[in-house]
Every structure is written in C-alpha cells, then in structure tokens.
Structure 1
Amino acid sequence: MRKPVLSRGEDKVITPGLPHQNNIQQVGYKLLSMLSFKGRKAEEVSRVLVSACLWNDSVESKSKGYNVSPQTVRNYVEEQGTEVIEKLLESMRRISMEILKGVKEVDISIDWTTKTWYGKPVEGLGSSAKGNSWNYATATTKYQNMVLLLAFVPQVNGMSKDEIVKLLMEQIVGMGLKVGLVTLDAGFYTVEVLKFISQFKFVIGVPVGDVKIYEEFDGEYTTNSKRYKKEEQVKFRLLVYGKEIVKKRKKTVVYFARATNLDLPKREVLKLYNKVRSPIETSYRNIKAFLPFTSSTKFIFRELIFVLAMIFYSLYTVFKNVMTREEFRLLLILCFLDDLSDLKDFIFNLEETLINTIDLFLWR
C-alpha cells in the first residue's frame, strides 16, 4: 500500500500495522507547520532543521541534502527566528496543556542547563563563561510519569536569577495554572529569589559553604548577604543533612542543605524535593538528544535550535508509554523520505533499537 508521507516527490511505502502510524505522520506534518518561515526556501530551511534534530547532526551537514546553503538557513533564522521561536513555544505549551487537561495546580521544578561553545566569545550571553556558553532556564512538572515543559527563558547579559524565576512563574500563571510547590537548584539561592518564592510553598538548594553548617541541622536561619541590611535579610527553615560517599577508598560525609517554608518532617521535605526536582535532569538529557549542532554563534540561531529540540521532546512525551525515545526518532525518520539515504548508517549504529522497532511493527 502506497501513501504520500511528508514528501515533495514520490509516495512512500508505509508498513501495514505500524503502531500509531497515523499519529506519527501527523507529528511529522505538525513539525513542519510549526516552523512558520516565509519565503521561497522556507520549506527547505524547515526540513533542514527538522532533519538535523532527528539525526542529532549539524545543520550545515544536513543542508546539503535539501538544495539549500548553510548561509541561507542562517539568514532565514536570523531574520525570522524571533517570530518562529514564539510560535514554537506556544506549541510546546499547548502540548503540555492538552496532557494536563483538567489539572488546576502543579508542582514545578526550575533549573537551567548550559551548552558550551569553545570558539570565539559571543556578546549578549548571560553566563559565567563570559560569552562561551548559552544558558537556558525551564520550568517543568511531572504528571502521569511524564515530565512536561511549561515555561522557558534564555538567559542574556544583565538578567538576574530572580528575573528568570519571575518570568518562568509568570508564564505558568499565564497558562491558567496554580503553583503548588516550587523546587529550585542551589544555583538560584539568592536573597532576591528567596523573597520572591516565599509567596509559594518552596524548597530550594543551598550551597553549604554559604551557611557554613557541617552537621545535621533543622532550624531557623537568616541570610547574611553583605548587599542587604539586617532588616532586609530573609528568614527561612534550613535543613542540613549528610551523605556518606567513598572517595579514594575512604568514606567521607558530604553535607547538603535545603531552604524551605514547608511545615513537614525533615525526611518528608527532602523526599518531596527529590521527587519534584529529579525529573528535570532527565528532561534535559532527552532535549539534548534532539539538539542539533551548528557553527553559527548567533544567539537567535542557538536559541531556536534549543527550542526546536524542546518541541521534539514534548512530542515524544505523548508516545513515551508505548515506545522508547530512539524508536520515536526512527519512526519519524521513516516519515521523511529525504532522509532515507542515510538510514543504512543510522540502523547500523542502532541495531538494538531497530530490533525493538521491528517487534513494534509486528505488534498488531
């Protein structure tokens, strides 16, 4: 049986009985429609970006197969990237809200991830690497074994940590959701952030070196930032706990700290923090699995490909319960006829995934 699938040329053979066949095709069409570039080469540019994500390859390498130069792709992104990014983010939020349909309150985790660039420093990047890395902050929630992306902020020069948190929270509230519990990494531990999140139930990591308490502790604590007067400091409940690790064949106790306003037993607070926070690291790993490479040092280009990788991750969450990430990737690749010339090498490198996928083909 032959049906046209995401191809400008010949029809593509569809394997009968392919699980979620129509849905996978719809995902392919949706991906291309989300990239709302305008112009004579708009479709080719969109296909290059989607293909680079699917193969986890460079944008420059994939452009060769679509009769478009890398510079053309860069030009389209630099000229239209801002509008396209906004539409992609709206699509990301729509996917999450569709899954959360009926849910009014969510527990969220806020963190950022860094992608380092080892070339010439780029102006406008808000990172400790002084222009050699891109920082992206996200807010996620876990629902029915799925980690959903709710909000996104790229960090640029001059943006403070509390501004990042406020922007993320504003996006979530703007979606009509009420925030139950907020968990944050120790990198967000500042007086400004504490003042802002104190209006919510929160648990935030604290650098032990800042509080200088190297023993089990559960009690009231006040910040001692030199930037603020005594009456401007923030009081909170501080929890410090030790964890035994083996280093150079010797057992050593390492201490960790958490700030919170929860009135729960210490063990329950720490358990709750880990439960809400740990999934965000998994989401970053999955996002980066779809993140393509590029030689472009333009902030807008780097931001767009990261947002596009988030879209792939968001779409993958819909199918997570019935297939692995690599099976999802392979099924989408099969929807893009132009990519079949590279399929042999891809299958060779993912032999185990192919076997699992064949089992899925025969499932029905």
Structure 2
Amino acid sequence: MRKPVLSRGEDKVITPGLPHQNNIQQVGYKLLSMLSFKGRKAEEVSRVLVSACLWNDSVESKSKGYNVSPQTVRNYVEEQGTEVIEKLLESMRRISMEILKGVKEVDISIDWTTKTWYGKPVEGLGSSAKGNSWNYATATTKYQNMVLLLAFVPQVNGMSKDEIVKLLMEQIVGMGLKVGLVTLDAGFYTVEVLKFISQFKFVIGVPVGDVKIYEEFDGEYTTNSKRHKKEEQVKFRLLVYGKEIVKKRKKTVVYFARATNLDLPKREVLKLYNKVRSPIETSYRNIKAFLPFTSSTKFIFRELIFVLAMIFYSLYTVFKNVMTREEFRLLLILCFLDDLSDLKDFIFNLEKTLINTIDLFLWR
C-alpha cells in the first residue's frame, strides 16, 4: 500500500480497515493544493485553516500546532484572500460540474445564511444586524440524493436582493447550465426580484403579512409596494394555504403564501417548492459543521473560512452515499496525523463512530 506523505518528516501510517483510504488521501492532497497561498509560511497557513475546519475549532487555537502565529495567518489571508477565494470557488464549481456531467438543465434553490458576530460591529456587512453578522447567499441543486453548490455571493452593504439573485444566476448560466425552476425564500420577496425571476419558472415564498390574505387562496395578485408606481407593480399567481399547529395546547391555523408563474395544480406547486427548497437547509447545516471560528473581524477572513467550509462540504458530497459526515471528517484527520495534538478527543470520537457502526450491524 502506498504510504501518504502529507507533511514533512516521517511517512504517515494509515489505520487499516477504514474504507476508501486512497480516495480520502487524494482529498487531503487536493485540499492543500486548493489553498494557493504564496510565501515562506504558505504551507503552514494552509494547514492551520484546514485543521481548524476538520476540528471545527478556532483558527487562532490551531495555529499554535503549526509553528505560526495567528497574526501571520491573518496577514496571509488579508493580503492574498481574494485570489485564494476565487480559486476555491472555481474548485467548488468544478466538483459540482463533475458530478452533474451530462446534465444540461437544473432546478435550483436560492437562500442565504447568517453567521452572527457578538463583538464590535464591522463596517461593510450587508445585514439587518447593523454590522454584527455576515450574510452569504448560495444557489444549490439536488442531483441523485446530493445537494450540490453551484453559486455563491457574500452580501455587502448596498447590495440589493435582486443584485444577489442576478449574480447567482449569472454564475450558473456561466457554468453552461440552463435553469429549469428557481425557488426562493420569502426573504427575497421584492418587486425587483419578481421582475427578474419572471423570465424563469419560479416559486417564491411570500410573507403573508404583505398580502394580508388569511384564508385558502389561489388566484391573480398584484404587488402593492409603496416604493413603486402603479405601472411598476408585478402581477403573479398567488397561492395561500393554511397549516394547523399546536400552540399552548391549542390548535391554531397558520397561513403561508407562495408566488409562482407555474400553470400546475396548487398542490403540485407547493409539493415542488418543498422538494426543491428543503435540501438547501441541510446543506447549510453541513457547511457550518466544517466552519471554523476566528476572532478576526475582517470581512475577507470571514468570507474565506466560509468558502473553505463549502469546499469541505462539496468534497463530502462525493462520499455521502458510503460514509457519514463525521466518518469523512475522521478519515481526513487520519491523513493529517500532525493534527492529532488533541489525541484524546480524536480517539473518543473515533470510538463513538465505531460503536455506532457496530450497533447498526447488530440491529440488522
């Protein structure tokens, strides 16, 4: 068996019996090559960032194990981050396109996620939290039980919702893909977004408070935005439906609304919306599972670690059908054995994974 040499010094030993060792080893090499920093400490900086993702730990904490100061890591990212991010995003798109090989048309879901910062507000952040959170928008598609990342946009001050949607769609079209259906969260419900997405088949969430229809409804509706003239408003098919929930031991009907241009029965439209949209929430949870922490408040630093977490998620999707996310993480850690300073935690997690696997076999 070929021995991995992911770091300087002695050859590393791979624990026998774990599946897909050669493939996971290849992922290890690929990760380091994707982080294209230049300079004397470039390799150490890359390893610190990869290590922080694998352990879901802080960048500052992991830098201690690689003979590099946290400030050096910050300097590299702040000086070279933009170029590295572009290369990481290109790698992310390439992974998705390799899986989608031969696919010409995709149904996509657009949404954003927020990471809150509880310290000093940071200028340049396009969020409702006035500089205390980072917003990232993504476009995904589901293919053969995999949720693939296709496009990414960080939200900065002054960026409107329709600009975000346009940038995401441009990235997808630039990949040579045709958009079959686009679904969006209610947070994107604006006249400008509706005008833009009307050229596609679409379903978008609508805040019920905006339409003020609290009953089952399926009919034509026109926006009533006060910021737009009458001739600038948008007409669309509005679907309103109720869902019964139990609140304080009392049954209450809560209403939800969707805007669409699909000429399908109401039930089919709602089912299609949920089918296309629901996987994006799972993708965000998996991305955040690889997202490291940092005390840096620099926008470029926060953007880079989120993009790096997306890369980990994209690589994990390749192995999703044969191993769990935590098994993928642990096998990658084995490739970076110089990352085992926290040996107790590693052994504990590995033991827990093996016990769970044994339990599954016993129950079969």
TM range (shorter): over 0.9
| 1:322-345 Cα shifts (integer Å, max 9, x gaps) | 000000000000000211221321
Deviation, structure 1 residue 16: 3.7
Q: Does 1:312 align with 2:312?
A: yes
Deviation, structure 1 residue 295: 0.1
Q: Distance in 1 between matches of 2:222 and 2:214?
A: 16
| Cα 1:187/1:299, change in 2 over 3 Å | same
Equivalent residue for 2:214? Answer: 214
| Cα 1:18/1:76, change in 2 over 3 Å | same
Partner SS state of residue 283, structure 1: helix
Equivalent residue for 1:204? Answer: 204
Contact conserved, 1:18 with 1:360, CA < 8 A, in 2?
no
Q: Distance in 2 between matches of 1:296 and 1:363?
A: 47
Q: Distance in 2 between matches of 1:141 and 1:347?
A: 36
| Cα 1:81/1:4, change in 2 over 3 Å | same
Deviation, structure 1 residue 107: 0.0
Deviation, structure 1 residue 9: 1.3
Deviation, structure 1 residue 213: 0.1
Deviation, structure 1 residue 121: 0.3
Q: Distance in 2 between matches of 1:193 and 1:284?
A: 23
TM-score, with length taken from structure 1: 0.97
- How many residues align? The count is 364
| 1:86-145 Cα shifts (integer Å, max 9, x gaps) | 000000000000000000000000000000000000000000000000000000000000
Contact conserved, 1:183 with 1:273, CA < 8 A, in 2?
yes
Deviation, structure 1 residue 354: 3.4
| Cα 1:15/1:359, change in 2 over 3 Å | farther
| 1:2-34 Cα shifts (integer Å, max 9, x gaps) | 723312111111234432111100000000000
Contact conserved, 2:4 with 2:335, CA < 8 A, in 1?
no
Superposed structure 1 runs of 4+ greater than 4 Å apart: 356-364
| 1:260-281 Cα shifts (integer Å, max 9, x gaps) | 0000000000000000000000
Structure 2 residues not aligned, in runs of 5+:
none
Q: Please show how residues 158-197 of structure 1 align to structure 2 within 5 Å.
A: 158-197=158-197
Q: Distance in 1 between matches of 2:114 and 2:32?
A: 27
Contact conserved, 1:183 with 1:203, CA < 8 A, in 2?
yes
Partner SS state of residue 13, structure 1: coil
| 1:158-179 Cα shifts (integer Å, max 9, x gaps) | 0000000000000000000000
Contact conserved, 1:17 with 1:362, CA < 8 A, in 2?
no
| 1:25-57 Cα shifts (integer Å, max 9, x gaps) | 000000000000000000000000000000000
Deviation, structure 1 residue 231: 1.1
| Cα 1:358/1:333, change in 2 over 3 Å | farther
| 1:166-211 Cα shifts (integer Å, max 9, x gaps) | 0000000000000000000000000000000000000000000000
Deviation, structure 1 residue 257: 0.1
Deviation, structure 1 residue 75: 0.1
| Cα 1:210/1:14, change in 2 over 3 Å | same
Q: Distance in 2 between matches of 1:311 and 1:359?
A: 31
Deviation, structure 1 residue 361: 14
TM-score, with length taken from structure 2: 0.97
Contact conserved, 1:119 with 1:132, CA < 8 A, in 2?
yes
Deviation, structure 1 residue 363: 17
Contact conserved, 1:239 with 1:258, CA < 8 A, in 2?
yes
Partner SS state of residue 264, structure 1: coil
Contact conserved, 1:220 with 1:238, CA < 8 A, in 2?
yes
Contact conserved, 2:223 with 2:234, CA < 8 A, in 1?
yes
Q: Does 1:288 align with 2:256?
A: no
| Cα 1:200/1:8, change in 2 over 3 Å | same
| Cα 1:32/1:144, change in 2 over 3 Å | same
Contact conserved, 2:4 with 2:25, CA < 8 A, in 1?
no
Contact conserved, 1:113 with 1:135, CA < 8 A, in 2?
yes
| Cα 1:229/1:45, change in 2 over 3 Å | same
| 1:219-241 Cα shifts (integer Å, max 9, x gaps) | 00000001111111000000000
| Cα 1:347/1:17, change in 2 over 3 Å | closer
Deviation, structure 1 residue 358: 8.2
Partner SS state of residue 274, structure 1: helix
| Cα 1:254/1:284, change in 2 over 3 Å | same
Contact conserved, 1:19 with 1:360, CA < 8 A, in 2?
no
Partner SS state of residue 225, structure 1: coil
| Cα 1:258/1:317, change in 2 over 3 Å | same
> % of aligned pairs identical?
99
